[in-house]
Amino acid sequence: MLYFITLTQVCNLKCRYCGNTPDPAIEPIDITYTIKDLKSFLENDPEASIAFYGGEPLVRMDLMKKIMDEIEAKRYIIQTNGLLLKNLETEYLKRFDTILVSIDGREEITDYYRGLGTYRRVIENIKDIRARGFSGDLIARMAVSEKTDILEDVKHLLRIGDPWFDHVHWQLDVMWDSPPYQRYRNFDEWLAKYNVGISKLVNYWLESMKKEGKVLGIVPFLGIMKTLLFNEKVELRCGSGINAFTITTSGRLIACPIAPEFEWNHVGDIFRNKPVDIARKVMVEEPCTSCEIYDICGGRCLFANKTKLWGEDGFRKVCGTVKHLVNELKKAKSEIQELIRLGIVRKEDFNYPKYNNTTEIIP
């Protein structure tokens, strides 16, 4: 299984859209259990992958390195804002299978949401880790909100450098907060613009295959097209509550990493439970399980499904973006199959991700 380890609730950025407000009444700011406790729990899972999480996990780089020294995992993954990557020693850097770096697209968009100068600092650190030999999967992880142009911002990250990023993924700034739509002047207009951008981006993806013989690493497109080409049925793609869990700073086990305060999310703790005790403890419910694209989507988001902070209407609107995305990729499927038949691209090029690398696939 995949285990998010929240190293700290502290972050060295204060992004406009982020709800990360450390609250010791919910969870301790830093880890209170011992590495021995953690090791005793994880030793019961020979297939354990560790994803370091926060806050900003590299704020506690010391603890992260101790865990990597003392606990052998099948894979090491980290979600980071990238500002401290230059301080990570090369021997540890090269042990990561996947590094996800938060960056929202073009410089002006990233800096608007994440702070002036953030973009350039992140890019310099990306160049540095590539120069130092990091050859794992480097993923640009975007938060998509009102100022985002999904076509232009994704294209920018795909092409920057030689390129530096292997893949680009995004999550929508939706349904995390209440009251609804507070960061949008007109949410319905923004949705319509976003859907048009998705259609254009699918066309750009397809044209790149035709002209360059290359399948660009757009994570939501790859994950969904993999399902369509391989005729697979999926469950909740992030795995939360099924085969992916978070170990909080107190040692509690929760299904979704962003929701430690909700009772439905609690499944146990590392002191009294074993991994086998918690698998499939929390699952998405209606309306997702009756949806016509459930076997392709898998439910989009456990947190949104359980909380519906934007009500049924807001939930339905966001689901409309997923249906539009799936329909656009369904339309592209036959052309992609022909490109595969002609040997321009390979079916294996769409086999992504090969393991749960913390990309939720569905934005």
- Asked, for residue 294, whether it belongs to a domain, the answer is yes
**Lateral strand order in the sheet of 98-102:** 167-172, 137-144, 98-102, 75-80, 49-53, 2-6, 244-247, 252-254, 266-269
- Provide the percentage of residues in the chain whose pLDDT is more than 70: 100
Rounded CA-CA distance 285/325 in Å is: 22
Q: How far is CA 68 from the centre of its chain?
A: 22
Does any domain span residue 298? yes
Q: Determine, yes or no, domain membership for 278.
A: no
Helices (H), the chain: 35-42, 61-70, 90-93, 107-114, 118-131, 150-159, 187-212, 219-230, 275-278, 294-297, 302-307, 311-341
pLDDT for 231 equals 94
Question: Which amino acid is it at 261?
Answer: E
Residue 321 lies in a domain: yes
How many C-beta atoms surround the C-beta of residue 133 within 10 A?
9
Nearest to 10, CA basis, from 133, 24, 75: 24
Per residue in 75-84, pLDDT tens? 999 999 999 9
Position 100 pLDDT exceeds 90: yes
Q: Is residue 188 part of a domain?
A: yes
How many whole angstroms from its chain centre is CA 241? 16
Mean pLDDT to the nearest integer, 43-67: 97
Quick one: average pLDDT of 57-62? 98
Report yes or no on whether pTM surpasses 0.95. Answer: yes
Inside any domain, residue 220 = yes
Question: Is pLDDT above 90 for 217?
Answer: yes
Residues 42-66 have a mean pLDDT of: 97
Distance CA 356, CA 250 (A): 24
- 122 is a domain residue: no
Half-sphere exposure of residue 230: CA atoms within 13 angstroms, side-chain side: 18
End-to-end, the C-alpha distance of the chain in Å comes to 22
CA-nearest of 255, 250, 260, 298 to 278 is 255
What SS3 state is found at 312?
Answer: helix
> How, if at all, do strands 252-254 and 266-269 pair?
antiparallel
What gap in Å lies between CA 230 and CA 114, rounded to an integer? Answer: 38
Cβ contact 143:102 at 8 Å: yes
Using N-to-C axis directions, what is the helix angle for 61-70 and 35-42, rounded to 10°? 50
* pLDDT (average), residues 55-80: 98
The total of structural domains in the chain comes to 1
pLDDT in tens, 327-356: 999 999 999 999 999 999 999 999 999 999
Smallest CA-to-CA distance from 235 within 169, 288, 307, 314 is with 288
Average pLDDT over residues 251-273: 96
Residue 351, C-beta contacts closer than 8 angstroms, at least 6 positions apart = 226, 230
Q: Is residue 243 part of a domain?
A: no
The residue segments making up the domain with residue 306 are: 180-234+284-363
Q: Which two tokens stand for residue 295?
A: 């076997």
- For 157-200, what is each residue's pLDDT tens digit? 999 999 999 999 999 999 998 889 999 999 999 999 999 999 99
